[in-house]
A and B are shown apart, each in its own frame.
Chain A
Amino acid sequence: MLKAFSTAATGMTGQQMMVDVIANNLANINTTGFKRSQINFQDLLYVKMSQAGAEVASGINSPTGLEIGSGVRASATVKVFTVGELDNTGRPLDIAIYGDGFLQVTMPNGDIRYTRDGALQVNANGQLVNTAGYSIEPAITLPTDAVAVDIGKDGTVNVTDVGGTTSVVGTLQLVRFPNPAGLSNEGDNLFSETEASGTAVTGTPGENGFGAIQSSMLERSNVQMVTELVNLITAQRAYEINARAIRAGDEMLRTATTIGR
């Protein structure tokens, strides 16, 4: 049968995956701290029919070979860690990381997860937690008599008590990875460390290339609607064209089967 069928089918599968990735990006256009994914493709192996440089006559080498490719496959979906727009929310416990870095979150089983979502909350014990209620690492507890909270650029958490005295109750820390694109997506805006991401390096916000903390701000998703829509149109058309290639192959085979009738 025609190899063209399977080749075009790989093209259709690839474009379909691209649409899936775009759909997820678009669905998260308003998710705090969301990082868009980018899908990368690579061509599949080639079937070698004649070798470039083979001798075709004495002293004459064929200038080019003949290799027929077998289509395409998605090689990776990578998270693009560019900074999203910062939105002023006016809520002192909303923080945005302006630059590199992740906040650490302790899961109920003790595992550490990483997030860029800085919509912090306070639980019943006065501890700083994320929106799902998991505590922020290092643990910071606000005193019960605190009337105002202020988080500085370097991550220090200052509270003012009823008497008007200000004191530091803790410092937020950030972590960074040699390969952030290698982090595994855990959903709920959380990432976890993998072999590929490398080991987390801890640091103080605003120092050594770590982003500074901006309080009363939230980092929006870095999804750009127009870019995604343009990609969507491209993917859709490319899908159609690949389907058209299958139809062309089908027509050719139909002609072939009518020989001698």
Chain B
Amino acid sequence: MEPTTQVSASIDALTRELEIITHNLANASTAGFKRRCNAFSKALDAQQGTAETYEPGNIDLESAFDFSQGSLVQTGRNLDFALMGNGLFVVETPEGPLYTRNGTFQTNQNGQIVDSMGRTVAGEAGPITVPVSVGLAQLQVSADGRVTAGDINIGKLQVVDFQENQSKLVPAGANCFVMPDKDIRPEPADNVVIKQGYQEASNVMIVDELVDMIMVTRLYEANMRYVSAQSETSSSIMGVAMG
């Protein structure tokens, strides 16, 4: 590859990198948000021998989601749920199921448990409806997702796990993921605990992102310097050649 082409490719990659970082930072307060890893953390992994390959100057550096656990924040709200461990809540849409770690749920006018966009949250045996005869204050959800209102058992929240296929999830916006490959079916999650009255905070670490951001700006500058230096060199060569 021509040095200049390589530099411009790396400038493109750095620009994209900054976009990923700003998106992470913008979502520092989004419950259940999972940060995108950026190329630097990948490069670092490669050096430590944990990732497959890393080629410098490769513009197609893909950014996987970091599905690590976010911290739990107590809200005291009966319909806020946090997941501890591997698992995803299922949200039903006409286009098929979406998966989310954001357990900030509501009830709709019929008492059905829905997400913040009003889409039904899946229970293991269909949508869960809180009977009108029982107040929301009496809604209890056990660690394994069984929902009771007063003394009545009204269903079980569906929590699924994609295991090794988790990295194939694609973001769909509004805190949700979608599985593009229809053949991959999730398993019921077994290593997960549901905490009622808590939200899972975003797993974005502001300081880490800030450090990456400084790196990106400086590397960008260095690449640009190289372009300037190249153009000076070539113009002086031209000067010599043309007399």
Bound CA span A190–B220, Å: 55
* Interface footprint category on A: 35 or more
Query: Can you list 13 contacts pairing A with B, beta carbon distance less than 8 Å?
Result: A52-B169, A66-B60, A69-B36, A78-B104, A81-B136, A100-B138, A178-B108, A181-B79, A182-B108, A198-B110, A201-B132, A241-B28, A258-B224
Nearest Cβ in chain A — how far from B195, in angstroms? 16
A11-B26, A182-B108 are known; give 16 further A-B pairs, CB within 8 A.
Answer: A3-B19, A7-B23, A40-B31, A42-B174, A43-B173, A64-B62, A65-B62, A71-B23, A178-B107, A179-B106, A179-B107, A180-B136, A211-B137, A234-B29, A258-B228, A260-B227
User: Is A69 touching B23 in the complex (CB atoms < 8 A)?
Assistant: yes
Known: A65-B170, A66-B63, A182-B109. A43 touches B231 (CB 8 A): no
Which residues of B come within 8 Å of A, CB atoms? 14-16, 18-23, 25-31, 33, 36, 60, 62-65, 75-77, 79, 102, 104, 106-111, 116-117, 130, 132-138, 150, 167-175, 180-181, 206, 209-210, 213-214, 216-217, 220-221, 224, 227-228, 231
Task: Tell whether A112 is near chain B: CB-to-CB under 8 Å.
Answer: no
Of the candidates B16, B180, B214, B227, which one forms a contact with A51 in the assembled complex, judged by CB atoms under 8 Å apart? B180
Segment among A114-122, A132-140, A152-160, A247-255 that sits at the interface with chain B: A247-255
Given the complex, which residues of A lie within 8 Å of B167, measured CB to CB? 52, 63-64
Interface of B is mostly: mixed
Nearest Cβ in chain B — how far from A77, in angstroms? 10
Known: A50-B62, A99-B137, A179-B108. A2 touches B19 (CB 8 A): yes
Bound CA span A77–B216, Å: 35
Known: A52-B170, A248-B213. A38 touches B77 (CB 8 A): yes
